[in-house]
Chain A
């Protein structure tokens, strides 16, 4: 690394007396390079380090065991929960399937009911129209009957008037056969009255005929 080839520093401990610990860098590739210092190691020191490392390792082991236990428990719990959720989902899926089936049936019934309602409303409209038309026909029939009644009544009046005209004319003919027995002025007045009566009867008959032709 950054060793100076012009003035290399000698190792503080001979390589034979200071074995390189595992993982320690040596030579050019070390981060400390030639400046790294190795302490002398003896058997007592190693024992002391082992004594110090043991509790640490024990703690680490306990931690690892605790962690593994926690992960195992967690995994088991999640597995159980997953199974419960799956069972729950399965139950709801079956319920959804049933509800979908019911929904299809209800929709079919709704469609049918709507069609029946549309048919019923159309039928109600038709019946209302038929009733209205019958009402119109009834009113028209009543008006026609009233008209016929009035026409018949008018025809009766006309027939009566024509009859009175005929009677008057026959009576006038009888008077004229024996004209010497009557006052000429009275005969003339009676003749005028009969003529007026017959004119009115003819006018009434003409009006009736015109009404009947309409």
Chain B
């Protein structure tokens, strides 16, 4: 009997210690905190942030300019795009034989032109502006390959700012013999007046400059490599010929 009682007591103690040690007995609750709102708010990615800009126009539109070539007895229009705050790229035939060049931006602002110079070995021209340009893109790292998407932004027919898309078809010899080396062929729609438009890749980087259109509706681009080659050589550009 004594052994049983001792065993019972021992069992009770063991059970009590075990249950307490194992957490079977519920602990007292922690006091309810005054404020459970996290101090650091969760970061939420806003929808449509890629379209944010100072005025609702995206960078592709903001970098494009319309160029009016006021000749001595003629008028023509073309397109261009900024590569820095005071430099535009366009085609040589857009600025050739002009008495005055008039540049306007996507929102209709007029940009005063300082100088214009043209390349001898490519249908390219550089226009320096007195007024700052709204936006300018980066150049791509290299020429595109067949199948790459392309976006063209310019002023076809001298009309409203237009963005068209297509893909790079390949390269070809320049049918107009206006450029040294091969040119890019794309199926992005262009029209007269689109000359000088920027051709961009998916990241919005410049991959070429529109300069012509084939009879079957394909667009021809001066490739980025040619543009960079011309820009790297200061002697490749000479003052543009005027009609005066």
The reply to whether the CB of A98 lies closer than 8 angstroms to some CB of chain B is no
Contact, CB under 8 Å: B9 / A60: yes
On whether A140 and B16 interact (CB within 8 A), knowing A74-B27, A132-B104, the answer reads no
Chain A 54-83 against B: per-residue CB contact (8 Å), 1 yes, 0 no?
A: 001001100100010011011001101100
A residues 92-147 in Cβ contact with B at 8 Å:
92, 114, 117-118, 120-121, 124-129, 131-133, 135-136, 139-140, 143, 146-147
Contact, CB under 8 Å: A127 / B108: yes
Chain A neighbourhood of B30, CB < 8 A? 81
The reply to whether the CB of B22 lies closer than 8 angstroms to some CB of chain A is no
- Interface residue total, chain A, C-beta cutoff 8 A: 42
The reply to whether the CB of A32 lies closer than 8 angstroms to some CB of chain B is no
Chain A neighbourhood of B48, CB < 8 A? 114
Number of A-B contacts (CB under 8 A): 96
B residues 62-88 in Cβ contact with A at 8 Å:
66, 68, 70, 73-75, 77
Chain A neighbourhood of B1, CB < 8 A? 21, 49
A52–B16 CA distance with the chains assembled, in angstroms: 21
Contact, CB under 8 Å: B32 / A132: no
A75 nearest in chain B by CB position: B26
Contact, CB under 8 Å: A139 / B32: no
A70–B5 CA distance with the chains assembled, in angstroms: 26
A121–B53 CA distance with the chains assembled, in angstroms: 12
A63–B16 CA distance with the chains assembled, in angstroms: 9
Contact, CB under 8 Å: A136 / B158: yes
A133–B108 CA distance with the chains assembled, in angstroms: 11
Contact, CB under 8 Å: B29 / A77: yes
* Minimum C-beta distance from B114 to chain A (A): 20
A126–B161 CA distance with the chains assembled, in angstroms: 9
Chain A neighbourhood of B161, CB < 8 A? 125, 128-129
Contact, CB under 8 Å: B32 / A135: no
Q: Which 3 A/B pairs are nearest by Cβ-Cβ distance?
A: A128-B108, A81-B29, A129-B160
Query: Chain A: residues with CB nearer than 8 A to chain B?
Result: 21, 49, 52-53, 56, 59-60, 63, 67, 70-71, 73-74, 77-78, 80-81, 84-85, 88, 92, 114, 117-118, 120-121, 124-129, 131-133, 135-136, 139-140, 143, 146-147
